[in-house]
Structure 1
Amino acid sequence: MTETVGTLFEESLERYKAGEEVATLIPAFKEVCDRAPKSSAAWACLAWLYMLDSKPNPAFKAAQKAVKLNPQDAQSRVNLALAMLENNTKGVREHIDLAMQLIMIDDEVRAEIKQSIADGFARKPDWKSLERVNNWLFEV
């Protein structure tokens, strides 16, 4: 029986939340993106995983797709800013400013981004680019 793309996405997300190794999750999220190429959430997750796995080039491409599909998603903007920092690409400020606007108007989104950043530090403690983004967004 073929697994639906929604089921695969949810199961992969649960595996991530359970602490599974990032490198083992990337193929599952790539499959979700292949099967549902217009899913901005899947592309955002894939970009995040690539960043956690220290693969900024594919992270940049995945984050660009996520932002293109959903320009109003704060996590996609954060992911793109992180990938740009890791790749020494110009234009980071625009994405930080947009993410900041999005988290200022929605407390739920703000909490999700804070949780995502905390998760990033838990999985990759000395992540300098994440430190910079965190400082910019939350003025720590």
Structure 2
Amino acid sequence: MTQTVESLFDAAIERYKAGEAPADLIPVFKDICDRAPKSAAAWACLSWLYLLTDKPNSALKAAQKSVKLSPQDPQSRVNLAVAMLDAGKPGVRQHVEIAGQVMTVAEELRTEVLQNIEDGLSRKPGWASLERVKGWLT
């Protein structure tokens, strides 16, 4: 990523953390993904925003790109698993298992993923698919 795209990404993350609506951030992350199509982190963020706005099919596509670019990233795998559950797709278990394996050996990633899950549940209370994945990972 160029510095411009990195600074856009960092600014967009800060906007999310400040509580900006996920729907307002989707075009920002789509632009970042267009500018840096090999950024697994950007695709993971876009998939998360789609999940928060009840767009599981769009989330599924973005999460698949993120996992393809970074197969060992547990957040990408969690996003893909949740998107698959929300979209009614089979094959969730393998993604949860891989995420769990990585989280077992990388405590920092485990903490980050669990914090993101809690953030998702606070932004979208009663999110059954995310609750299921959380239960499998904890």
TM score, norm. by length of structure 2:
0.97
Task: Give matches, 1:29-68, under 5 Å.
Answer: 29-68=29-68
1:69 alignment counterpart: 69
- Deviation of residue 58 (structure 1)? 0.4
- Measured in 2, the distance between the counterparts of 1:88 and 1:134 equals 18
Q: C-alpha offsets along residues 13-60 of structure 1, whole Å, 9 cap, x if unaligned?
A: 000000001100000000000000000000000000000000000000
The whole-number CA distance in structure 1 between the counterparts of 2:28 and 2:131 is 28
SS where residue 37 of structure 2 aligns? coil
* CA positional deviation for 1:126: 0.8
Is residue 133 of structure 1 aligned with residue 136 of structure 2? no
| TM-score, length of structure 1 as denominator length | 0.96
Cα-Cα RMSD: 0.8
Structure 1 residue 98 displacement after superposition: 0.2
Deviations 1:74-132 (A, max 9, x none): 00000000000011111100000000001000110110011000100110011000000
Unpaired stretches in structure 1, ≥5 consecutive residues: none
Distance in 1 (CA, whole Å) between partners of 2:63 and 2:55 is 12
Q: Aligned partners of 1:97 and 1:114: how far apart in 2?
A: 15
Aligned length: 136
- Inter-partner Cα distance in structure 2 for 1:111 and 1:9: 21
Which 4+ residue blocks in structure 1 deviate beyond 4 angstroms?
none
Q: CA deviation at 1:4?
A: 1.1
Please list, as runs of the form range in 1=range in 2, the aligned pairs for 1:44-123 lying within 5 A after superposition: 44-123=44-123
**What is the percentage of aligned positions where both structures have the same residue?**
61
Q: Supply the distance in 2 between the matched residues of 1:126 and 1:105 (Cα, whole angstroms).
A: 29
